[in-house]
Amino acid sequence: MATRGRPRAFDRDTALQRAMDVFWVRGYEGASLAALTEAMEIRPPSLYAAFGSKEGLFREALAHYLGQHGRYRRDVLDGAPSAREGVAELLRETVARFCSDEFPRGCLVVLAALTGTPESEAVRDALSAERGESIRLFRERMRRGIADGDLAADTDMEELATFYATVLFGLSVQAKDRVPCERLLAVVERALRAWP
């Protein structure tokens, strides 16, 4: 059976990686079609044929990002011997990632679309849901900490999880602003002193 049209002339994974990097650095609205297609080394019709829209491309780039960078949250929290050690390790590891020259500074999920036009509301909602996943992961580890005796039974898990997620998200913004890594680590240590 013959296929219709010309075959795709680009590697989808490479294109997604490059689009992810553009969104990570410029945010959703700041990533122009010209910047995306230039980075992906494709023409606009190819972008639309492959991804449907800029939003479709962003959603796939976000999934690509989460596949590469999102899983470590759960792995670190679950692998630690106590809830406090899990939170401490996650915050420290996050600073190390934010300060690495290997990646853009900060977190795409936090930085990509905090503000924007009404047309970008669906993107902001998707990112907000993913940030909510971080709170859920903290809360889940704290629940296990209570069961294991690491935390008092009357600990307000929602408050504590939201606090440490807020620290996590704030580290992203500060990293993007090029706050020195030593200061980010000092923030982590200060936040850990608030552990009940």
In contact, 142 and 157? CB cutoff 8 Å: yes
Joined together, the tokens standing for residue 22 give 């553009």
The gap between the terminal CA atoms of the chain, to the nearest Å, is 66
Residue 102 belongs to some domain of the structure:
yes
pLDDT of the residue at 8: 56
| Residue segments in the chain with a per-residue pLDDT below the cut of 70 | 1-8
Residue 29 belongs to some domain of the structure:
yes
Q: pLDDT tens for residues 3-47?
A: 455 545 789 999 999 999 999 999 999 999 999 999 999 999 999
CATH number at residue 45: 1.10.357.10
pLDDT of the residue at 1: 47
Closest CA to 21 of 74, 57, 73: 57
Count structural domains, the chain.
1
Q: From the CB of residue 98, how many other CB atoms can be counted at a distance below 10 Å? A: 20
In contact, 130 and 164? CB cutoff 8 Å: no
Residue 112 belongs to some domain of the structure:
yes
Residue 4 belongs to some domain of the structure:
no
Max Cα–Cα distance, the chain, nearest Å: 66
pLDDT of the residue at 2: 47
Q: Which domain holds residue 151?
A: 12-193
